[in-house]
Amino acid sequence: MMLDLIMKLFGKESSGSKNIAKERLRLVLVHDRVNVSPQFMETLKDDMIKVISNYMEINERDMEVNLTTSKSSVALVANIPVNRMKRGPMAMK
Amino acid sequence: MGEVLVITSGKGGVGKTTTAANLGTGFALTGKKVALIDADIGLRNLDVVMGLENRIVYDLVDVVEGNCRLKQALIRDKRYETLYLLPAAQTRDKNAVNPEQMKKLCEELARDFDYVIIDCPAGIEQGFRNAIAGATEAIIVTTPEVSAVRDADRIIGLLESEGKSNPKLIINRIRPHMVKKGDMMDIDDIIDILAIDLLGVIPEDEYIVISTNRGEPAVTHPSSLASTAYKNIVRRLCGENVPLMSMEVRTSFLSKVKKFLKL
Ligand SMILES: Nc1ncnc2c1ncn2[C@@H]1O[C@H](COP(=O)(O)OP(=O)(O)OP(=O)(O)O)[C@@H](O)[C@H]1O
Ligand SMILES: [Mg+2]
């Protein structure tokens, strides 16, 4: 808000086309970097399983991890069926 | 052993050949011994940018296939005694050479030259693989455009997977007045996105066109902006700490306000 005001004061638009370029680049690179290596998602999944297994027992087979894109953001969406929660020191950490 | 630098970009037409010619000539101006390799087989260009197109007898493929000795194919520059060009074959394609052969060639040249500079073709196919095979260091050229920066990012990933990490970036064709208006990505934006070291910035400069017309790389013309920018890069590659020239860093009042507000 404040910045917008200052920019208007100095006769500058807050969104020159470079900001559009930067934003588009940021989004496209999220996907590019994931897609460059076919193992990327698998490795991420394996690491997630390792961490989550400290806290709960999950159904690895039905686990889904994906990137979804909306107009202005990318989200990592994980659907991980939980079989049971763990009890004990690891879960208390 | 000399250094083997590959000039690459992913996207075509961003200034690889111009950069190879100017860095090669720039090193020669400081007395270094330089071999330029045009690895763009089938689309040879570096010869005309250097103004050496009339002197070609043998080419890169001839050397690799053993039709001539390496020394016979190297063309000496018109102006600088320590500058040589190994031209690309024009009537063959990229598959005429393989990465192993390029590696051997680069090793051989690095024994005799301080710098071996390879002009890489656009793309990420065999021609790219050939060009990077023998390189000890990679220089990535980009322009302040979404597609060029995107391709640069891809190239950085591919270089890394080939065990060539820490490539350096040259941003070409910056137009300060557009940056000032907020209509062109600036140096910080691009470095922030690609997260690699900046080697230098070349402004958009009409003199590049004029010098290419003449077949005399811009560094030979002392008063152009691009010439100074390329000379600065040569000095940085030689280990000197040279600040970006003033037009390169001129920031708008707006970006100063932004910095002040930590935005
Ligand atoms: N800084 C600059 N200012 C003005 N014109 C430039 C600049 N850099 C490059 N050019 C022009 O852009 C065109 C493309 O440059 P160049 O041939 O060096 O690109 P390239 O990356 O080698 O292309 P290719 O991918 O086709 O091999 C040329 O006409 C060149 O003169
Ligand atoms: Mg070229």
For B179-193, write each residue's pLDDT tens digit.
999 999 999 999 999
Task: Assess whether the C-beta atom of B210 lies below 6 angstroms from ligand 1.
Answer: no
Pocket probe mutation, ligand 1, options B7, B8, B11, B18, max atoms within 8 Å of Cβ: B18
| ipTM of the prediction | 0.81
Query: pLDDT tens digit string along B80-109?
Result: 999 999 999 999 988 999 999 999 999 999
Q: Are B226 and B202 in contact (CB under 8 A)?
A: yes
**Complete domains list, chain B, with CATH:** 3-262 (3.40.50.300)
Whole-number pLDDT of residue B248: 44
| Helices of type H across chain B | 16-29, 46-50, 60-65, 70-73, 99-112, 126-133, 146-161, 176-181, 187-194, 206-214, 225-237, 246-249, 253-260
Share of chain A above pLDDT 70, in %: 77
Going from N- to C-terminal start, the domains of chain A cover: 16-92
Res. B166: pLDDT tops 90? yes
Res. A93: pLDDT tops 60? no
Strands B34-38 and B115-119, bridge-based pairing: parallel
Q: How far is B185 from chain A (nearest CA, A)?
A: 5
Q: Are B85 and B36 in contact (CB under 8 A)?
A: yes
Q: Which of A10, A16, A21 sits opposite B146 (nearest CB)?
A: A21
The CA distance from A48 to A23, in Å, is 28
